Amino acid sequence: MVRLLAPGGSLEMARTAIDEGADVVYVGPLGYSRRPYESEMNDADIRAAIHYARAQGRELLIVLNTYPSPFELPRWLTKAQMFADFGAAGFVVTDVGALHALRRLLPKTTLHVSIGSGICNARDTDFYRSLGADTIILPYRWDVAEIAAARSASDIALEVFLFETVQTGKICPGKCIMSSYLRFREWLEVENQTSFHGSANRGAKECYRVCQAAWQFGRDDAVPIDLKLRRDARLMLEQLPRFVAEGVTCFKLSGRERPVPMIRDLVRFYRKVIDRVLAQADLLDEYTEELAELRLRWVREKSKRVDTLMDRAASYAV
Amino acid sequence: MFELSTDVCNIKTLKNEDLSAYDAIYLGDFSCPEYPNNFSSNPKQLKKGLDLVKSHDQKAYLRLYAVPSNHDMPWVEELIDTAMDLPFDAFEVHNLGLLRVLQEKKCTIPIHLGVFGNLYTHETAKVLKQYGVTRVYPNPELSLKEITYIADNTPIEVLLPVHGKIPLVISETCFIMEHTENTKLCGNNKCNFPCLEDHWLKRGRKDGSSNDWSLKDTGRMTLSGKDLCLIEHADQLSSAGFTAFYVQNKGEAEGYASKVGHIYRTALERAFAGDSGIDCAPWLAELDALSHEGLCNGYYFEGAGQRYFGRA
């Protein structure tokens, strides 16, 4: 079975994604999912989203992919139990110890390994399978050969983002703490957290996307060059049939921070593309024009978002 | 009483540097397999390096490549096979897939989890112990309070970095090679090591001030611009029960590890002897002079990594 996973950055977005045909919607509780508070949800909204998804025969995943503080872990597990009791289908998790503890607490739940784990090779997927993970999301950097290797390494289900492969660049998320080195801020009241100080990786603070800002680079004695630290990934189309053939069963649409109409259109688009691929029709040429327009919208919205985050970063004390 | 360690990437540096202040040496550069004669990627260099370290009555830990792709696994395994026949005191591992490999090889050499192993919780430390991990390098984002909690609640030793640039992000490809136009490959299509010269990432603020943000880039790894410094807190570290301390040396000029090591050796010995009235000012000035962008306290006191809090 191949499934389309879509973001729920708000209750409205979660409902929209389900209406447009997402099989699974993922949402993040306030302070637990590496996003600013406006792209996370309070517990009441999560409960409502779970009920809405279940009523339509769909599933809701809870993103608990921060690296919790050791002091926070008991509360983190209590939260997870509460969402399971609400009817959540599973969790997206990063921390090895938290994943292991969650598997013991909820033996029948579904556990997805987050992109924040920063895996590098097929043996990594095997490691997480040994801990009891059911599904692992693969890095943007991986193409068909890496997927095939992961398929051979264990029986863990494979998930990919709907982005084209970008094989260079700094490994983020999973191996990056640049943002919190440069800027930090305290918790906001709405985030309902005070127990420890953290960073984007830990839920408390947003990642300011410093890698996507303008930098100057070079030797001390040379004229610097202007650049960004990472290349942008483009929305995927052509790779999709090959990935399905290699055994990818979950295709994940990013974008909890994007506007709801953009997510609506993207879920609608990828629903029909995936259905076409599953119907054994590999010719996707008729979708290229529509994809081009969506790619433009994606880049435009991403650029606005980076500007907003950098402005916020500049406003916080070091 | 305590162990002070640092890192050395190849035999040339090992021979040239005065490392007498250290009890243990992490051999190898875990970020770049191409680095000249890197212990982490050259099995033939291992015995020479090990013998030299042991001849100084120091412990020798071997660093394994931090981000091995599937393509890298065969040569990393070859290195491991060679190293398992040598009396290394530990392997440093950053990659969880390699823990599976070492387990399958029935490796009995102790394993240290490296900085890119993402150790944030005591629960993770407990899981990793089952894979033979005996020491962990906590993620730099953790505060001293959190690290103390992990040390107190796990059966694993915690390595505490006390000085040097903080590893912030790693890459499977070389940022310098990708972005520096005048960088050319040598005739045999191999790297000509532009990283041997310092490269910096800088970004000014909108208010017009320049170079507000500064990071050091060694090609496959980006480090903090400022040098982490805990010299003012040596007494706090000894009273908290830490016994393994580390000076980060990757990307530094010759002489850095030596000067920093001797300062910390003296400061820690006095702190462990119960001397709480140490005047750190001269050391602080010397360490500041060795840095390119000044000093910081990392995340230890619950702020952005580049802040310097000083003695509370």
CB of B303 within 8 Å of a chain A CB? The answer is yes
Give yes or no for a contact between A92 and A109, defined as CB atoms under 8 angstroms apart.
no
pLDDT at A305: 74
Q: Identify whether B221 is part of a domain.
A: no
| Cβ neighbours for A128, distance < 8 A, ≥ 6 positions apart | A99, A113, A117, A119, A136, A156, B96
Selection from A229, A162, A198 nearest residue A70 by Cα: A198
Contact criterion met (CB < 8 Å) for A67 and B118:
yes
Helix B96-104 crosses helix B73-84 at what angle (to 10 degrees)? 50
pLDDT digits (tens, 9 = 90+) for B220-274: 999 999 999 999 999 999 999 999 999 999 999 999 999 999 999 999 999 999 9
Residue B190 pLDDT level (bands cut at 50, 70, 90): confident
pLDDT digits (tens, 9 = 90+) for B85-136: 999 999 999 999 999 999 999 999 999 999 999 999 999 999 999 999 999 9
Contact criterion met (CB < 8 Å) for B143 and A197:
yes
Structure-block tokens of residue B234: 């040596």
Which of A98, A198, A214 is nearest residue B121 as measured by Cβ atoms? A98
Which of B97, B139, B306 is nearest residue A120 as measured by Cβ atoms? B97
Contact criterion met (CB < 8 Å) for B72 and A121:
yes
Contact criterion met (CB < 8 Å) for B97 and A126:
yes
pLDDT digits (tens, 9 = 90+) for A222-263: 888 888 887 777 899 999 999 999 999 999 999 999 999 999
Q: Identify whether B233 is part of a domain.
A: yes
Residue A318 pLDDT level (bands cut at 50, 70, 90): low
Position with higher pLDDT, B40 vs B193: B40
Q: Identify whether B193 is part of a domain.
A: no
| Distance from C-alpha of B148 to C-alpha of B142, rounded to nearest angstrom | 10
| Dihedral sign, Cα of residue A273, residue A279, residue A282, residue A285 | negative
Domain count, chain B: 1
pLDDT at A191 over 80: no
Residues spanned by the domain of B44: 3-166+226-296
Report, as an integer, the average pLDDT of A166-189: 76
Which of A96, A117, A119 is nearest residue B127 as measured by Cβ atoms? A96
pLDDT at A269 over 90: yes
Can you give the three-state secondary structure of chain A, one letter per residue?
A: CCEEEEECCCHHHHHHHHHCCCCEEEECECCCCCCCHHHCECHHHHHHHHHHHHHCCCEEEEEECCCCCCCCHHHHHHHHHHHHHHCCCEEEECCHHHHHHHHHHCCCCEEEECHHHCCCCHHHHHHHHHCCCCEEECCCCCCHHHHHHHHHHCCCEEEEECECCCCCCECCCCCECHHHHHCCCCCCHHHCCCCCCCCHHHCCCCCCCHHHCCEEEEECCCCCEEECCCCCCCECCCCHHHHHHCCEEEEECCCCCCCHHHHHHHHHHHHHHHHHHHCCCCCCHHHHHHHHHHHHHHHHHHHHHHHHHHHHHHHCCC
pLDDT digits (tens, 9 = 90+) for A28-80: 998 888 888 889 999 999 999 999 999 999 999 999 999 998 998 999 999 99
| Distance from C-alpha of A10 to C-alpha of A79, rounded to nearest angstrom | 19
Q: Identify whether B306 is part of a domain.
A: no
Q: Identify whether B249 is part of a domain.
A: yes
Q: Identify whether B19 is part of a domain.
A: yes
Q: Identify whether B84 is part of a domain.
A: yes
Domain containing residue B23: CATH number = 3.20.20.60
Report, as an integer, the average pLDDT of B24-38: 96
Contact criterion met (CB < 8 Å) for A184 and B303:
yes
| Distance from C-alpha of A122 to C-alpha of A23, rounded to nearest angstrom | 27
Q: How confident is the prediction for chain B on average, in pLDDT?
A: 93
Q: pTM of the entire structure? A: 0.94
CA-based Rg of chain B, rounded to a whole angstrom? Answer: 19
CB contacts < 8 Å between A and B, how many?
Answer: 204
Which of B67, B215, B224 is nearest residue A171 as measured by Cβ atoms? B67
| Cβ neighbours for B77, distance < 8 A, ≥ 6 positions apart | B101
Q: Identify whether B53 is part of a domain.
A: yes
Report, as an integer, the average pLDDT of B63-74: 97
Selection from A74, A109, A51 nearest residue A43 by Cα: A51
Selection from B308, B305, B309 nearest residue B141 by Cα: B305
pLDDT at B185 over 70: no
Nearest chain B residue to A196 by CA: give it. B302
Backbone angles phi, psi at A94, to 5 degrees: -115, -50
| Dihedral sign, Cα of residue A2, residue A113, residue A62, residue B128 | positive
